[in-house]
Amino acid sequence: MLDSINIFEVSLTETLDYEYSHASSKLVTTDRTDAMERAQSLYNELDMASYVDSYTIEVRGGVLGEGGFDTLLYVQKVYIFDESANRTTGATREELEAEVDNIMESIARDASQRRQVVNGFGEIDVATAM
């Protein structure tokens, strides 16, 4: 499945919890390396607006000619965490980081289930080998 992915989208979502969410596409390309580099550079370009609770940077893949980018390849969630006001979700910083870790583990698990190991050995029929 991952071998058939040949188009990638990098998106940025700004979220004000319980009120507002805005997603914008930052890059659509057929080069996976360019998509991952753009996702990494987006973090450095964030303006960390005071009204935003979190930013989510995603790289999704799809098959050119088919609709949508349905395979999540990378996600980075950046919380603007105010210790004094705790204006995010009432969660601690550790709980927020654990949530992101769980998302990344889920992506890795899904990707590993789709991979197929191909080696140079075929099936050996024991009866004909002897």
Which pLDDT tens digit goes with each residue over 52-65?
888 899 999 888 77
In angstroms, the CA 92 to CA 94 distance is 5
Which pLDDT tens digit goes with each residue over 72-107?
888 888 877 655 544 445 666 677 777 777 877 777
Does the structure show a pLDDT above 90 at 37?
yes
pTM beyond 0.95: the answer is: no
Confidence band, pLDDT 50/70/90 cuts, at residue 109: confident
Does the structure show a pLDDT above 50 at 120?
no
In angstroms, the CA 93 to CA 54 distance is 13
pLDDT at 82: 56
Does the structure show a pLDDT above 60 at 1?
no
Q: 69, 61 in Cβ contact below 8 A?
A: yes
